[in-house]
Amino acid sequence: MTKKILVIAKNNKVEALRVAVGLVLLDDTVKVDVLGELDDSPQIQEQLEVLEFADVPHKILVDRAKLIDTLAQDLIGSDVVYLI
């Protein structure tokens, strides 16, 4: 049975993206929600490229009004949540 995994990138965003990339190796569904803006560092760009290659959906949540609703829906629809 496949699990629905949500990775929330809050404090250490590059590490959260790395974790999401690693979870793709499992046979589970992975989604990423990024709280706030991402910097334009090479490390972030590299992880985003891998996520796009692996077809992992990711959302960058900046607008506080939409953030709460989107995050609540994603949390309810997930079996496992990682907050990094």
CB 65 within 8 A of CB 42: no
pTM for the full predicted model: 0.92
**In angstroms, rounded to a whole number, what is the distance separating the alpha carbons of residues 82 and 6?**
6
The per-residue pLDDT for range 18-38, each reduced to its tens digit, is: 999 999 888 899 999 999 999
Count the neighbouring beta carbons within 10 Å of the beta carbon of residue 53: 10
Domain boundaries, the chain: 4-83
Per-residue pLDDT tens digits for 46-64 = 999 999 999 999 999 998 8
CATH topology classification for 4-83: Rossmann fold (3.40.50)
